[in-house]
Structure 1
Amino acid sequence: MGENKTGFFGRLVQGLSKTRNSIANGIDAIFSGFSSIDEDFYEELEETLIMADLGINTTTAILDNLRQKVKDNKIKDPSECRQLLINSMMEQMKVGETAYEFEHKKSVVLLIGVNGVGKTTSVGKLAGQLKDQGKKVMVAAADTFRAAAIEQLTEWAHRANVDIIAQKEGSDPAAVIYDAVVAAKSRNVDVLICDTAGRLHNKKNLMEELKKVNRVIEREYPQAYRETLVVLDGTTGQNALAQAKEFNEVADLTGIILTKLDGTAKGGIAIAIQSELNIPVKYIGIGEKIDDLQKFNAKDFVNALFQKNE
């Protein structure tokens, strides 16, 4: 793990460079530009954080926390606030102890999200990683709306050497899930990962579809541990937050996968989503390769964000 971990941190630092330019550099300028901690100082910080896609609520929470720490520690010098601010951000983004429970149980993992966010790719990457951990993994192509999604997932399944259950384009997603659940049980699969359609513009249909899918799983495989992850495109910033809210209305979300964080200045959204929705970011993606999707680590993320540019 060690080599992989440092490798990923390095790529994270690199991938977050645009976000760092928008957040950390702005904040560091404030820390060095103010000689005392006053209302102007907090206002400047607030503006910088909001501009970096952290949103009003999250920014307010972080700054309230910071003000408290400054008061408790009787801090007078803005430069001493840097680490406190970093800590306040980390506190907004805790991933719970049981976040990855599904890996250790017989589980069914649904990935939902609109087209184009990297959902099918995330299914493939997750399947490959779990397979590498020695798990028996199966994927289900229940995004039957797009032929491309079925083809793409089939390719990922072959690459990761895991079983795939698929039907032709246009077939009933619930029927695909039914087949997959039956197969997963009979083949003693550890983790069944399902790619599902994400057509938010037609929310009523999506809701019905997800209800049907959930009914099938509950009926056929009640003992399975359930995980429902929404996949969001980090480059869309506040729009990703809006999407997460909508998906949260139609599904019982247990976590978030945030993709495409490399090369966007909107990486602050990772902090915002978590504190606005109270749903943890469980994975982040910073590139195309299979190991560019990693478990989210708040400490690493915020540290990468505030790495001094050498």
Structure 2
Amino acid sequence: MNDILPIILPILAVLVVLGALIPVLMKTRKNVKNYPGTRDANDPVQAPGAGTLVEDRPAPAPAPERKAPGGVEVEGLETVEVPDNAAGLETVPVETPLPVAGRLIRLRERLVKSNNILGKGLLALLSADKIDENVWDEVEETLLLADLGTEPTMQLVDALRERVKVIGTRDPEHVKALLREELIKLVDPTMDRTLHVERHADKPAVMMVVGVNGVGKTTTVGKLARVLVAEDKDVLLGAADTFRAAAAEQLATWGQRVGVPTVKSDIDGADPASVAYEAVKAGIDQEVDVVMIDTAGRLQNKVGLMDELSKVKRVIEKLAEVDEVLLVLDATTGQNGLNQARVFSEVVNITGIVLTKLDGTAKGGIVVAIQKSLGVPVKLIGLGEGADDLAPFDAEAFVDALLN
């Protein structure tokens, strides 16, 4: 018996210890299994959405794209500031633009000095001693690099090849005359480039200015208002770009410079349709000649923003016809500008193009590409930041500037 005790005692000790541990382990297991999905209110690391286990919590939904409501009811549109007339504007010297002829000369001088390869390159090629297939290939390449577009390029090259072949000339002046004639045909002087800004019997003419970010829409509105005032038009501006910081103030500053009132909202992110509506309504009440609506820049591939632009136009049409929708394009964007033009034309039916920054680009051919693709004329061109660097587009003057 004494021999067995040393063996039995350790076994009994182990059993006693296990007997004490088993209830504790069972209790702990039970707590783990039934641990609630909520944390105590005083827990400093409580996660958002308490009451749902973290692993079961759905991922946060992406922020919705800003999109205009589908309806165009004018009831409930936000109230915006409407000046009675220009009399209350801060007194500043009212500027007077150069006459049209003076602006055209200034723009032509700028274009002649610009880095354009369209005219210079073609003249160099077509004045060569021998005009063979290699030369014509280079002519095509030059035209395509100038963003003329494939179809207009082939049209111009085929016409020039035929005329050069028939006449057999190598004289630079003669070749230049042929090139000038064919380019003018492509730019098409027969297109109606008139700005429709004549007042109707009982309502003002309404103009919307649209485009992507950074092309100079607000500046274009200000410069054009300056021109219209010089032509004795009574103008009112509507600052419907409510999402760009200080856009309304920038437009109001242009208005002060030329002595016209600006309808704007003091609320950041206000409904642009509200501003446009109030501007047109004020234009009707005050019997002005032209109401110009500046809109926010928007990418052409953002459906919600394009819907919003469409809504602005529809709300305006509750009061008056929109006579002009000018699309402002940056000439340096080339073929991307053509893509922008197509989308904007589908959304708001643009009536004319304002081509800016034409002096710093070799891509003057975009004028032809846009007109050929959309059947919409380039009505105005801008060649700089100056107040007088905006003028009516003239096909012959443009081609002559390209050919220096």
Q: TM-score, normalised by structure 2?
A: 0.69
Given that residues 57 and 276 in structure 1 are in contact (C-alpha distance below 8 angstroms), is that contact kept between their aligned partners in structure 2?
Answer: no
Given that residues 228 and 235 in structure 2 are in contact (C-alpha distance below 8 angstroms), is that contact kept between their aligned partners in structure 1?
Answer: yes
C-alpha distance in structure 2 between counterparts of 1:245 and 1:278, whole Å: 11
Q: 2:344 aligns with which of 235, 243, 247?
A: 247
Q: Which secondary structure does the structure 2 equivalent of 1:189 belong to?
A: coil
Q: 2:214 aligns with which of 110, 116, 120?
A: 116
Q: 1:226 aligns with which of 313, 323, 341?
A: 323
C-alpha distance in structure 2 between counterparts of 1:286 and 1:181, whole Å: 30
**Structure with greater Cα Rg:** 2
The one-letter code of the counterpart of 2:359 is: D
Q: Looking at secondary structure, tell me which structure has more helix per residue.
A: 1
Residue in structure 1 matched with residue 126 of structure 2 by the alignment? 31
The one-letter code of the counterpart of 1:213 is: V
Given that residues 109 and 229 in structure 1 are in contact (C-alpha distance below 8 angstroms), is that contact kept between their aligned partners in structure 2?
Answer: yes
State the aligned residue count.
301
- Overall identity of the aligned pairs, in %: 46
C-alpha distance in structure 1 between counterparts of 2:300 and 2:192, whole Å: 33
Residue in structure 2 matched with residue 9 of structure 1 by the alignment? 105
Aligned pair in 2 of structure 1 residues 176, 148: CA closer, same or farther (>3 Å)? same
Q: 2:246 aligns with which of 112, 135, 148?
A: 148
The one-letter code of the counterpart of 1:157 is: G
Q: Which secondary structure does the structure 1 equivalent of 2:268 belong to?
A: coil
Q: In the alignment, does 2:303 pair up with 1:204?
A: yes
The one-letter code of the counterpart of 1:45 is: V
The one-letter code of the counterpart of 2:222 is: G
C-alpha distance in structure 2 between counterparts of 1:112 and 1:256, whole Å: 10
C-alpha distance in structure 1 between counterparts of 2:281 and 2:148, whole Å: 43
Q: Following superposition of structure 1 onto structure 2, how do residues 147-226 of structure 1 map, counting pairs within 5 Å?
A: 147-167=245-265, 168-200=267-299, 203-221=302-320, 224=321, 226=323
Given that residues 352 and 377 in structure 2 are in contact (C-alpha distance below 8 angstroms), is that contact kept between their aligned partners in structure 1?
Answer: yes
Tell me the CA shift for residue 215 of structure 1: 1.6
C-alpha distance in structure 1 between counterparts of 2:372 and 2:186, whole Å: 6
Tell me the CA shift for residue 111 of structure 1: 0.6
Given that residues 207 and 325 in structure 2 are in contact (C-alpha distance below 8 angstroms), is that contact kept between their aligned partners in structure 1?
Answer: yes
Bigger drift between 247-256 and 117-126 goes to 247-256
Aligned pair in 2 of structure 1 residues 4, 255: CA closer, same or farther (>3 Å)? closer
Q: In the alignment, does 2:201 pair up with 1:102?
A: no
Deviations 1:164-214 (A, max 9, x none): 111132000110111011101011111111111221155212232122112
Residue in structure 1 matched with residue 391 of structure 2 by the alignment? 294
The one-letter code of the counterpart of 1:131 is: V
Bigger drift between 59-68 and 232-241 goes to 59-68
Q: Provide the alpha-carbon RMSD of the alignment.
A: 2.2
The one-letter code of the counterpart of 1:159 is: R
Aligned pair in 2 of structure 1 residues 55, 78: CA closer, same or farther (>3 Å)? farther
Q: TM-score, normalised by structure 1?
A: 0.89
Query: Which residues of structure 2 form unaligned runs of 5+?
Result: 1-96
Q: 1:282 aligns with which of 379, 391, 402?
A: 379
Tell me the CA shift for residue 133 of structure 1: 0.3
Q: Following superposition of structure 1 onto structure 2, how do residues 67-146 of structure 1 map, counting pairs within 5 Å?
A: 67=161, 69-70=163-164, 74-79=166-171, 80-94=174-188, 96=190, 98-105=192-199, 106-146=204-244
C-alpha distance in structure 2 between counterparts of 1:4 and 1:181, whole Å: 28
C-alpha distance in structure 2 between counterparts of 1:3 and 1:173, whole Å: 34
Q: In the alignment, does 2:356 pair up with 1:259?
A: yes
Tell me the CA shift for residue 59 of structure 1: 1.1
Tell me the CA shift for residue 4 of structure 1: 5.2
Tell me the CA shift for residue 304 of structure 1: 0.6
Bigger drift between 9-18 and 239-248 goes to 9-18
Deviations 1:117-171 (A, max 9, x none): 0110000001111011000111111111112211211111111111111113200
Given that residues 193 and 378 in structure 2 are in contact (C-alpha distance below 8 angstroms), is that contact kept between their aligned partners in structure 1?
Answer: no
Given that residues 221 and 294 in structure 2 are in contact (C-alpha distance below 8 angstroms), is that contact kept between their aligned partners in structure 1?
Answer: yes
Query: Which residues of structure 1 form unaligned runs of 5+?
Result: none
Bigger drift between 120-129 and 40-49 goes to 40-49
C-alpha distance in structure 2 between counterparts of 1:175 and 1:195, whole Å: 13
Residue in structure 1 matched with residue 369 of structure 2 by the alignment? 272
C-alpha distance in structure 1 between counterparts of 2:249 and 2:207, whole Å: 20
Given that residues 383 and 389 in structure 2 are in contact (C-alpha distance below 8 angstroms), is that contact kept between their aligned partners in structure 1?
Answer: yes
C-alpha distance in structure 1 between counterparts of 2:134 and 2:180, whole Å: 20
Aligned pair in 2 of structure 1 residues 143, 23: CA closer, same or farther (>3 Å)? same
